Structure 1
């Protein structure tokens, strides 16, 4: 295979990233969350630092859009329409301050909020009401420009609203798709060139679609009562990983 297809990556690393796209999409589709941040962790070890978050955003857009398409009838469009204006505002605000913020502060803040949403008292009805998704859209889209994967934060918010596993996964995928579109627009405007990475992006998106298809077959076998518990523990493990990352940066 021509060397330019790998953009400086060895064939082994290229295939490793493609395989991880499949595995992480399968994980998110079947368990509700976790794949995005796992893929980000792998890419952070391989991809040039300045390209990690833009590349991750494009690949995750393909993965989430495919999952949303496969579960289209389960998407909560009322929440989507509330989230979208917030996502746009958050991306605009983030574009003005596209700088490196203290990672430890970001990681600890997100981890604390995830743990609160999973194990703390229910959010006030005002937060879960009409303007709740809009506020979450502003905050998480702003944060995703700097930390890359805010999926666990959004997942923790959605688990406060839904108890049906298909509704949760479908709406989560749709929300993340919109957020990644906003992120890509910002990075494109900032001059990040993704064209040399197109072969890898396409291969990872196709692989992610296969993983999503397999993961949704697994999801059908998980009862709602078990899904909620599994989702909680997946999010908790991701929060603990963020705390560990924060400690490592101090």
Structure 2
């Protein structure tokens, strides 16, 4: 790989939830376009495997294991990016967690707290530490992962629906506050995607895959790389006038 020819050559991109699924696919795509990628997730072993893969093709990857629900972990990741690469140009805040099939009144408080912690507090922790860095630089782009559950009730557990609505609110607020300082902030409205979490849910819930595929006008689940491509585009110069947007990558689910 000749990273000097990529659209992200000389730029540093932080990716959370990078150990699997959409985040892992995004890390590969950013690296292919010349980015120095900062990989954050709880599974250090998977991050090291991914970093080796990226390095083998001529890319540069920094492993920063951590949990987005812990402010100190996020702080360490951002600081490591600055110490190693000197700047932070873009971020894909993709870490998330959720489930399906439990009525609201039967959902444990612990599940509510975990869902809100990962999906909302995790994005909050990242934004709080990424935005000032990018604002000081006078430029930057952030993409947060929301969901079709951020637009309407989808059959996911109620806390997940609430959390993904909140991600869109944080995205719009950050875009409005930091747009004048050169930082763009957008969100992906992601439909059913064949991630490890989705595969686990499909095994637990009979008929889930068929029902999820039926909601997309393309009648299938997304491959993680299809979602990752949208994140890469939003972080790049070709999306320079896009901010505060909730961009659907859902196979037409939200269009009908």
TM-score (norm 1): 0.28
Q: Which has the higher contact order (CA 8 A, sep 6+)?
A: 1
Q: Which has the higher helix share?
A: 1
